[in-house]
Structure 1
Amino acid sequence: MPALDTWLGGGAVLATVERPTRPGSTGVVVCPPFGHEHVLAYRTERLLAARLADHGIASVRYDHPGSGDSVVTATATSHRDGARLAAEALRTAGCTRIVYVGLASGALVAAAAADDDPDAAGLVLWDPPRSGRSWLRAARALAAVSVAGIDTRPGSTVTTAHDGTVTVVGADIPADQAAAIGALGYPTGPADRMPVLVAVRNDGDRRVPAGYDRDGIDIVRVDGHEALLGVSSLSARIPAASVDAVGEWVTRRVPPEPVPAPMELVPTERAVVDQDVEEHLVRIGPDHLFAVDTGPRHGDDDAPTVVLLNGSSEHRIGVTRLQVDLARRLAAVGIRSVRVDRRGTGETGPVAADEPSLLFTQEWIDDVSHVLDHLALPADRVGIVGLSVGGWLGLRVAAGRAGFVVGLSQADYRSRPAAPGAVAAADAEARPHVRTRRDALVAAVKRHLPYRVALALARRGHLQFVEPVIRGPLAAGTDVTLVLGPGDGAVFRARGGATAAHRLAHLPGTLRVVELPEADHAMFGAATREAATEAVLATAVAAFVQDPSVRQAVGV
């Protein structure tokens, strides 16, 4: 039975209900981790939900209120509120035995939810951190070395803003919510009244939480989590054996009993963000791409629209909610947007234990083309904004189909995609921290090639160069804006960007390069994201909005 996409609690959370073909009494609330761990774990949680459905067990996966696609503000009780709404949805659908499963920092949420729920039937702590305090401390330390603008001097506390907001990779957490997360632990009440599984890493990096290493609690050791968490989303791999172990335990310890009728849930596909903005859930094209359509309330279907494309192999939310915030700010000035899960990301396509992280693939080019087909708008009413590979995709499809493209953190200028079904590796030159001596030698040779020789090689796909990638859209009259941090700016210049700008200045489309003095490529930093957002708003308003007050407000 197809999964059901719906908002719960009037838009408090966006959730996916996985419905088994053989409905049973057991339902699982999959409690999401915090911050970037949620992005990394997304497809793993989807695979678990699919495994459970095969055994007649329903599940709900969701975003915490105040994060992801939710339309409410984060509070100190967000982690409890989301789990409660998910459990209510399962009970409404006829599930009487609720199991709470939490992966990574989500284990803290699951333990609290099971403790709050007097009728909970089971708890799974899956690769749990030691405590909320230890997780928060480690997450802040990682942010200190990963986010532009964070002071890395010993003893620095600048991961806390003046208003108390705490910066971790993938989230800016309000002070009261951060305090609540830091206070989370593992209450032993659930262990006294329900089956409990603790699945810890085989490498010993994480331990059984205090109070849970005792008789009556099932403890297993699982492999593969070091390749899921603490890595980039592009490198993350689903720990398939671990997923199977958790799914098997739930099926065995809280087995579903038949229920007389299939679940009847009426999805809520529309959410009101505020008095001016609303969102709709849609599926697009032959591959049923999952997307969120954001626009002005009571707006026209043919309103000018921006397609938002995320970076790497991450889903529609964007780093630290960049895509969500962009969509809603665009809607506030009258511009519709669609943010989409490409194949192999988020809710789009089947999930497999051994699925690769796609990158620079023909499938993704086709996906963006299907989104444009769905919009069915003339080019002068369409814009494309993409982060990293999302910008590259926009440049590939924009000619004749979009009035403008904005490439955020553009660092890849390959002229040919990978073949369908294949994966193109990220260019080592754009990732100096992983360059080999051979990479350095090849890069040095490329820098000394005559421009016309390099251009000819780039057109044949032998090296990366700016001109072949931007020529097509500019020749078709599409305006191109590149928003680059210092590292990406250096890549632009090394690949002939300045010369390309001069050589292509006669074309009908215009090229604008915005260089940010300080920025991390992934745009985890708040200042980086705000600068990028301002550039996007200025471009979109200049193209689509005639109201003088709006244009003045964004500096057009």
Structure 2
Amino acid sequence: MRPVVFDGQFGWLHPAAGPHGVVLCYPFGYDALCTYRGMRRLAERLAARGIAVLRFDYPGTGDSAGDASEPGRWRAWIDSITKAVALLRQSTGVERVSLCGLRLGGTLAALAAQQLGDVDGLVLLSPVLSGKNYQRELRAGYRQWLSMPAAMDCTPEPDTDEFVEAYGFRLYREALENLRAVDLRRDAAAPARRVLMLDSLDAARVDALAAHYREQGIEVERRGFDEYSKFMMESLDSEIPRAAFESVENWLAAGSGELATAARDADTHLSADDPQGHAVEAGVTETPVWIDGGRMFGIYCMPHASLVTTGGTPAVLMVNTGAVSRIGNARLGVRFARRLARQGIASLRVDLGGLGDSQPSLDTVTLDALYAQDGANDAACAARWLAARGHPGVVLLGICAGAYVGLYAGSREPAVTGAVLVNLQKFTWRNICDETGKPTVRVAAIGSTRSYLRSMCEPRKWLRVVKGQTGGWPVARELAARCASRLRATLADRIERITGLELGASEERRPFAALDARGVPTRLLYGVLDDGVEELEKYFGVRGARLRRLRRVKVSFREHMDHAILSASAQENVMSYFEDFYRSQFGEQPGAVADEPADSRDAGRSGRRARAAQWLARQARAFRLSGEA
């Protein structure tokens, strides 16, 4: 496969030698993140059967230029599919083209097919057939997410007609109005010569559409999609719908006549030595790059030369959040890379091995794989790649599992000169998955202690306990164990202060000590109710007190931050915090520590009374966890 760019849209071409080609049309937003690995695997399987495939990001989505909030998105999305068809024909010389779309991508594919008029086949995978129902579905999904512990402290988006919030992605008024007005029986009455429909969500509407197509003389095949729910799960848990994909492959292959062998694409990788940059906005250029001989893929985002300071500044390396591709939850990776470029800062958002579009291509990803040291080695390799391009250092940004990867990459890689690690949940990792990739132990017994203490103030929770609908003792035992663990860590901290002896947590402390020894400024940033705070306080005491003796390592807490950084407030929190940190360490005041209050820095020079007052202030702030540790 090889990256392609056309009219600002970024995509992937999977060449094959057959006469038939397929354009894959992604679903919208969070659905696209969940199914990214699966859609790539479908493209590869089709190419292996001699069917060339082009998959791409619509304007304002993924790695393409623009933003979803810009006017005219609905029309632009449909037009981008017709342009993708033209590119596929031009690049591969295929004689026939089919479209395959999932959810909203199926609806867009049908409309584009009607507009094109010469589409051979149309595959609709659980297409959106009712705009009103889809809007209600998105709103319901958002409300469900708000009720989860991971989102307890985030700021809810207003209930407005201007947009619909969907796990950090938004559909705006214009797109919503166009979607509500769509009637495929009217707007795409005869989209293709033949149609395959897989759906288990809206049987009545799908059956009615299938009947309508048959009345138009179209060859229609209707099947169920029982694997849909497991396919549309969070990216780590998303399962490849093998039966559905096999049906799609066989159906498309049956219309291809004699199949040719897949094209040899060993030499189709874009060479990192011969970059092909393209402008994504004024003053910002992005280049698809292969790293480590084509094993890892990334997008190198560069500012205009006039914005780069004399002597250069460190580049920013963004690693995957969990199993999500380089795009990031709610498109954070893309948005932040371009925001940094407008400030004169270059960045690389990279897919580590086995994730996104890097190699190898996998059917499944496990927790053990996300926390393996291979990921840290890959991040270190990407940092060296940036250093080889003349950047005087690399600043790592990692979230959740990406923070774990960044911690160990930074501790061993000389090219790393700074790190911001967000909602780091684990400091060490022991493999917990069985041969099928499923965890054999519960990753977390309950959520954050503070989230549970907050929920204990809700009368409805106690009513459920009184009615016997839920048990309180398991939670009470867990909270007691956590309290004891904190006390032990606090006692160890006091003993260390007096005697200088290091007690416990030596393995957890080791990567931080390595960063501190190399003089790498490192910041741990947590949401106040994040589960990772439990692990921090388990090993390093209240508010990570035992890390304070490491001069270059500091811990911060912020309100209104969900764990995966999906909400708009959480994203702004992370971006602004990182920018302040970067400026303080590598900007006008390289010696400053932006996130440490001035009174804390002065306290060390004051007398015993001032130190006592400072200690009392820290203990008081420990109850609300906002500010700097």
Aligned partners of 1:415 and 1:475: how far apart in 2?
A: 23
1:19 pairs with 15, 30, 34, which one?
A: 15
Find out whether 1:448 has 2:490 as its counterpart: no
Report the CA distance shift for 1:535/1:132 in structure 2 as closer, same or farther (over 3 A). same
Q: 1:438-463: per-residue Cα shift (whole Å, max 9, x none)?
A: 79856743541422789976556xxx
Relative distance call for 1:265 and 1:427 in structure 2 (3 A) is closer
1:52 alignment partner AA: L
> Is the contact between residue 313 and residue 393 of structure 2 (CA under 8 Å) also seen in structure 1?
yes
How far is the alpha carbon of 1:53 from its aligned partner?
0.9
Partner secondary structure for residue 495 of structure 1: helix
User: What letter corresponds to residue 252 of structure 1 in structure 2?
Assistant: A
In structure 1, the partner of 2:81 is 83
Aligned 1:388-427 pairs, distance under 5 A: 388-399=400-411, 400-414=414-428, 425=439, 427=443
Aligned counterpart, 2:622 = none
Given that 1:131 and 1:186 are in contact with CA atoms closer than 8 Å, whether structure 2 keeps it comes out as no
> In the alignment, is residue 144 of structure 1 matched against residue 139 of structure 2?
no
The 5 Å alignment of 1:338-353 reads 338-353=348-363
1-structure distance, mates of 2:403, 2:268: 38
Does residue 310 of the first structure (1) align with residue 317 of the second (2)? no
Instruction: Give the Cα–Cα distance (whole angstroms) in 2 for the partners of residues 476 and 166 of structure 1.
Output: 46
Instruction: Note if contact 1:129-1:206 (Cα within 8 Å) is conserved in structure 2.
Output: no
Aligned-pair distance for 1:50?
1.1
> Contact between 1:57 and 1:256, CA under 8 Å: does it hold in 2?
no
Shift in alpha-carbon separation, 1:84–1:209, aligned structure 2, 3 A: farther
**Deviations for 1:169-210, whole angstroms, at most 9, x for unmatched residues?**
241233222323333443464547511000123x88896253
8 Å contact from structure 1 (residues 111, 187) kept in 2: no
Deviations 1:292-349 (A, max 9, x none): 0112123699752111113110100011111111111111111111101112221111
Matches within 5 A, 1:151-230: 158-160=158-160, 164-187=162-185, 189=188, 191=190, 193-201=192-200, 208=206, 210-213=208-211, 215=214, 216-229=219-232
Which position in structure 1 is the counterpart of 2:456?
Answer: none
State which drifts further: 34-43 or 360-369. 360-369
Shift in Å, 1:15:
0.2
Deviation at 1:59, TM superposition (A): 0.8
Tell me by how many angstroms 1:228 deviates: 1.4
Q: How far apart are 1:392 and its partner, in Å?
A: 1.3
- Aligned match of 2:240: 238
Q: Deviations over 1:64-112 (max 9, x none)?
A: 1001111124423232022122111111121231101011232112111
* Partner AA of 1:485 in structure 2: G
Structure 2 CA distance for partners of 1:50 and 1:493, relative to 1, 3 Å: closer
1:288 Cα offset (Å): 1.6
Measured after TM superposition, the shift of residue 394 of structure 1 is: 0.9
The separation in 1 between residues aligned to 2:166 and 2:300, in whole angstroms, is 28
Deviations 1:388-412 (A, max 9, x none): 1111111112124422211122333
AA matched with 1:169: Y
Aligned counterpart, 2:37: 43
Aligned twin of 1:470:
512
Q: Is the 8 A contact 1:284 1:374 kept in 2?
A: yes
Amino acid in structure 2 at the alignment position of 1:283: W
Given the alignment of the two structures, is residue 506 of structure 1 paired with residue 506 of structure 2, yes or no? no
Please give the per-residue CA displacement for 1:466-503, whole angstroms capped at 9, x wherever unaligned.
x4553332333222222222222742554244457443
- Structure 2 residue runs without a partner (length 5+): 453-469, 494-501, 599-629
Q: Residue 114 of structure 1 contacts residue 122 of structure 1 at CA under 8 Å; is this kept in 2? A: no
Name the residue aligned to 2:621: none
User: Contact between 1:343 and 1:364, CA under 8 Å: does it hold in 2?
Assistant: yes
Amino acid at match of 1:520: D
Matched-pair contact (CA < 8 Å) for 1:132–1:183? yes
Partner SS for 1:398? helix
Cα distance, 1:19–1:359 mapped onto 2, change above 3 Å: same
- Partner residue in 2 for 1:428: 444
CA distance in 2, matches of 1:130, 1:257: 33
- Would the aligned equivalents of 1:386 and 1:394 in 2 still touch at CA under 8 Å? yes
Secondary structure in 2 aligned to 1:211? Answer: helix
- Paired residue for 1:250? 252
Cα separation, 2, equivalents of 1:318 and 1:28: 26
Q: What SS does structure 2 have at the residue aligned with 1:99?
A: strand
Tell me, what secondary structure is at the counterpart of 2:120? strand
CA contact (8 A) 2:295 2:353 kept: no
Cα–Cα, structure 1 residues 190 and 344, in superposed 2: closer, same or farther, change >3 Å?
A: farther
CA shift, 1:361, in A, is: 1.6
Which ranges in structure 1 are unaligned for 5 or more consecutive residues? none
**Partner residue in 2 for 1:132:** 131
Separation in 1 of the partners of 2:476 and 2:256? 56
| Cα distance change of structure 1 residues 205 and 412 upon mapping to structure 2, 3 Å threshold | farther
Instruction: Provide, for residues 258-283 of structure 1, a one-character-per-residue CA deviation record: whole Å limited to 9, x for no partner.
Output: 79x99999989311123322111101
> Which residue identity is paired with 1:403?
T
Paired residue for 2:399, among 387, 396, 399?
387
| Alignment partners' CA distance in 2, 1:424 and 1:413 | 21
8 A Cα contact 2:321 2:400, kept in partner:
yes
Q: Aligned equivalents of 2:202 and 2:432: distance in 1?
A: 38
The 1-side partners of 2:294 and 2:503 are apart by 36
- Distance 1:424-1:249 versus aligned 2 partners, 3 A rule: closer
Q: How many residues align?
A: 531
Distance 2:329 2:559 in 1: 20
Code of the residue aligned with 1:525 in structure 2: it is S
| Aligned residues with identical type, % of pairs | 25
Offset of residue 166 of structure 1 = 2.7
Residue 64 and residue 185 in structure 1: after superposition, are their counterparts in 2 closer, same or farther (change >3 A)? Answer: farther
Is 1:334 equivalent to 2:344 in the alignment? yes
Which residue of the partner structure matches residue 534 of structure 2? Answer: 491
In 1, distance between residues paired with 2:394 and 2:431? Answer: 23
CA distance in 2, matches of 1:496, 1:547: 33
Change (3 A) 1:444 1:283: farther
How much does 1:47 deviate? Answer: 1.3
In structure 2, distance between residues paired with 1:335 and 1:222: 46
CA shift, 1:123, in A, is 0.3
CA–CA distance in 2 between the matches of 1:44 and 1:175? Answer: 30
TM-score, structure 1 as length reference = 0.84
Give the equivalent residue in structure 1 for 2:290. 283
Alignment of 1:43-122 (within 5 A): 43-74=37-68, 75-93=73-91, 94-122=93-121
For 2:223, the aligned partner's letter is V
Question: After alignment, is 442-451 or 364-373 more displaced?
Answer: 442-451
Q: Aligned partners of 2:334, 2:374: CA distance in 1, in Å?
A: 24
Tell me, what secondary structure is at the counterpart of 1:272?
A: strand
